[in-house]
Structures are given as structure tokens and as C-alpha cells.
Structure 1
Amino acid sequence: MVKQVREGRPRSVHAWVAYELGTRIVTGYYTPGEYIPNEATIGEELKVSRTALREAFKILTAKGLIESRPKLGTRVRPREFWNMFDSEVLRWCFDSTPSPEFLRSLFEVREMIEPTSAALAAKRATDEQIAAVEEAYRAMEAAEPGTDQVILTDIEFHMAILRGTNNEFMVSLGESIKTALMGLFRISSSKESAYQASLPGHYAVFLGIRDRDPERARFEMKSLLSKSSRKALDHLAEEERGKVGEAV
């Protein structure tokens, strides 16, 4: 089976090659443990130089996706070695259709971090930081359905809470997974009704933080994430059923 090459290259050819090969890896076209075609074969297929390929391989190696084995070639590493917090790896996962397992794993990470972050923000956030959380929520309310503002304001709401923890590790982790949050919000907020339905949950989180009630903030964030997870997985299942229906 020949992989269809996407059209449209950026000015950086090696970045485009890394995207092509990285997407193939995260979607399972090249599976963990498999040796990918040699430079001559891939170069001919993608119509790029060996120099561009080698630079792309360096990028993928740094992200933990591949490793070179002397006299054997380049193979895909097991998923446990992939840097799943890398913004490009996350983007490659969402540019294809993410699996339910991938989404569940991502929500599990969020459920470990964000309820605790909301509780910490309720205890530690300054008045200015709480005002920033409210401002982000009001921007969510004002966002025009169907536009990128729906997603961007949602991300800013969650980032404002992370900044309100005054824990630099929490903030750094949030910055690392912004790409994943954008992908998740595109899925869970794809329907206008779903986005509107999520607003009361976001407001409840804000109120818990504003009222300096850590356990309430924790509970409301956990509830919000639980609902978001179900919506995202249900939407993914609907898409899969639609594909099956088209194929019949």
C-alpha cells in the first residue's frame, strides 16, 4: 500500500518531511518496532534530498519516535518512549483521527492535574488572577459559535486557572499540552449545543475559585472534565459510525 503524500509544503522542507513521517508513525502506518523504508526509497517517494530526510530524522529522534540501528536501519520506537507532551507530536495525533484510547489517556492526565489546580487556585490566586479567570469566562460567553474564539477562550480559561496556582510546574505543563487542549476542544465543542451546555460547568468552577472554596472548585472541575470526556468520546464514536455507514 502506498501512502498518499499530502500536498502543500512549508518553506522548511525537513519540517514538512518530519510532519509526513511523524503523522505516519502516530497513526500506525509505521508501527512500533517496524523499520521504515531507507533514505533512497523515502526520498524518491517524497521527492526530497537526503539532507532534508536526515534533518527530519533528527527531529523525530529527538521526540523519541525513531531510533537508528547500525547496519539495520531506522525503526519506530515503542510508544512508551514517545514524548507525548511535545506540541508537534500532539498536533500530529490530532491531525489524524485520534483513537478513543488516546483521548481517554489524555483526559486521565487532565483529571489528575486540573481539579487539583482549581483547588490550588482557590487557595492561592491573587485577586488579579481571579479576575483574569472571570474575564476568560466572560470571553467564552461572548465567543461567536463556530469560530476559533470558542476554542481560544476555553483554553485561556483553563490556563488562567493554572496560572492562579502560582506553581510554575503547573503552568509549564499547561503550556506543553495547549496543542492537545485545542484538539480536544475542537472535538468536544464541535456542536454549538455542546459548547453552550459547557458554560454553566465552567462558571461553577470559577465560582468555587472566586469564593476561595478549594473542595468546591475541585469538585466542579472534576465534574466538568467528566462531561467533556463523555462528549468527546461520543462525538468520536458518531464519526466512526458515519464512516462505516458511508463505506457500506
Structure 2
Amino acid sequence: MTIKAKHSGQRGRTSGTSRGVRNLHAEIAFKIGERICSGEFPSGSVLPNEAAWGKLFGASRTAVREGMKVLQAKGLVISRPKIGSRVAPRESWNLLDKDVFAWHGAAVGRKAFIATTQEFRRHIEPGIAELAALKRTPAQLEAMAHALSRMSEAERLDNAISSDVAFHRGLLAAANNELLNPFAVLIEQSLGSLFEFTTQVNPRYRQAIHLHERIFKAVKEQDSEGARKAMQALISDTDDVLSGERAGQKSKSKPGRS
């Protein structure tokens, strides 16, 4: 079974967060942040001054200054009196901030972003599953079961993605470790983007659901090693889906193939 989108034009999750209604300085921060993460202004480079930004955006220096404060809080910009604002080193960027994470994902491109996401999952999610099996509460089990049920019944792409993400976020919550809580942003945005792609191209979607069920069963039975192995199996299955898609793209590009 392969779930397809019911409508066209669905926006990728790494192309930027929903802006909604923003005040002026937040909109300025958003636009400058996108340009920094895209590489237009490399780390260490001096940014245009407040007057230049103000002219570009039709905004006051006060609005620009407040926008820069937002970017400083996100770790993207370093400002010094009489020196101006510079782009901070990339290692200082707060990728746990939703905006920064979205800008970064859009900038690196889908292929690199998915590869990074899978690396993150291999090193983090099996441990999360193991902890969840040891520390989950009845309420957390119920939340995971609800997400799994929604995932099994989903016929629309957006419903399949949201329920899949909800399952993984529920697993993170069930680990009951405060130091892991900030990873909720990464779970929501990186896995959301990954699942948006893999759910559409996965010819074995029901197999993926079965692997989620194995994780849930192990967590429910407090089988920590089983939960770890079940998560590793799910991640390996995603690797297989991605490898199959890459192989398919290569074969389509060969001469003589229609």
C-alpha cells in the first residue's frame, strides 16, 4: 500500500515554518534568518547595518534592531557596539529552534537533510525506545496506541504523517527524561519531512505499520531490549525504502529506459 497526497502543492516541512501573522521585527528576523542559513551570509561575515536593512524592508531602525535581537537569541547573529552584527559560527546556531531548524533543512536540500535525519535516528531513537519501555506510564501508552491506530486507518498523506510523528513524539515523552525533551522539535520537523517523502514512495507501508506495532508491543511489555531492536528494524526498513527510491531514480535515468 502506498499512500498518496489527496491534493497537490503540499508544502515540504523543511521549506520554512508557517508564518501566520507576524509583527514587523519578527518578519525581519525571519527573512534575514533564511538568508543566513541559505549561505548568502557565511559564518563570520559582517551583515548590512540597520539603515541598509531598514531601507530594504521599509522598516525603522528600531524594528531592525529588535529583529536582530531575535536572531541573537537563536544563535545566528553576534552583535557588538560600534562593530555591528556578524553571522555566528554554525556550531552556535540553535537547531532546536523551530525556525532555525526549518531554514537549515531548506538550505541543505532534501537528500542531505534525509541522510542527516537517518543518522540522528540511528543514534538516538533506539535508546529512546529502550527508555520508554522502562519508564512509560499508562497514559503515555494510551497516547501511543491512539497514534498507532490513526496511522493504521490513515488514507490521506497528511493524516499518515501526523499520526506517525505523533507516535514518535509519544515514544519520546514515554522515555520520561527531561534532557531528551528538547529533541521534540527534531522529532516533529525532521521526521515529519522524512515521512512526507517515504510514505509516498514506500510500497510496503503496511510493513512499516507492523514495525511500529512491534515497537509498541515491546514498550507495553516493558521489554527494553526488544524495543531497541524493533526501533532499529524500523530505521533499517526506512533505509531500504530510501535505497530503493535512489535505485529507481538511477534506472530511470539510464539511456533506453522509458
Residue in structure 1 matched with residue 98 of structure 2 by the alignment: 87
Residue in structure 1 matched with residue 198 of structure 2 by the alignment: 188
Cα RMSD of the aligned pairs, angstroms, is 3.0
Tell me the CA shift for residue 145 of structure 1. Answer: 2.5
8 Å contact kept, 1:121–1:165? yes
Tell me the CA shift for residue 36 of structure 1. Answer: 1.8
**How does the TM-score come out when normalised to structure 2?**
0.76
8 Å contact kept, 2:105–2:113? no
CA distances 1:82-113 after superposition (whole Å, capped 9, x unpaired): 11111221122345563644443343333332
Quick one: distance in 2 between partners of 1:24 and 1:235?
A: 31
2:83 aligned to which of 72, 87, 91? 72
Quick one: distance in 1 between partners of 2:67 and 2:244?
A: 36
Residue in structure 2 matched with residue 3 of structure 1 by the alignment: none
Quick one: distance in 1 between partners of 2:239 and 2:46?
A: 35
8 Å contact kept, 2:201–2:241? no
Corresponding position: 1:176 with 2:194:
no
> Which structure has the higher relative contact order (CA within 8 Å, separation 6+)?
2
1:150 aligned to which of 147, 157, 160? 160
Q: Which runs of 5+ in 2 are unaligned?
A: 1-18, 250-258
Identity of aligned residues (%): 35
Residue in structure 2 matched with residue 44 of structure 1 by the alignment: 55
Corresponding position: 1:116 with 2:127:
yes
Tell me the CA shift for residue 175 of structure 1. Answer: 2.8
Q: 1:132 to 1:99 in 2, by over 3 A?
A: closer
Residue in structure 2 matched with residue 135 of structure 1 by the alignment: 146
1:14 aligned to which of 25, 40, 49? 25
Quick one: distance in 2 between partners of 1:206 and 1:96?
A: 35
Quick one: distance in 2 between partners of 1:139 and 1:222?
A: 22
Quick one: distance in 1 between partners of 2:243 and 2:77?
A: 29
Quick one: distance in 2 between partners of 1:95 and 1:232?
A: 19
8 Å contact kept, 2:126–2:227? yes
Quick one: distance in 2 between partners of 1:77 and 1:164?
A: 35
Tell me the CA shift for residue 217 of structure 1. Answer: 1.1
8 Å contact kept, 1:123–1:213? yes
8 Å contact kept, 1:13–1:52? yes
CA distances 1:12-63 after superposition (whole Å, capped 9, x unpaired): 1111111111111111111111112222222222222222211110011111
Alignment: residue pair count: 231
Q: Partner of 2:86: helix, strand, or coil?
A: strand
CA distances 1:132-171 after superposition (whole Å, capped 9, x unpaired): 322211111112232x22221111101221222232333x
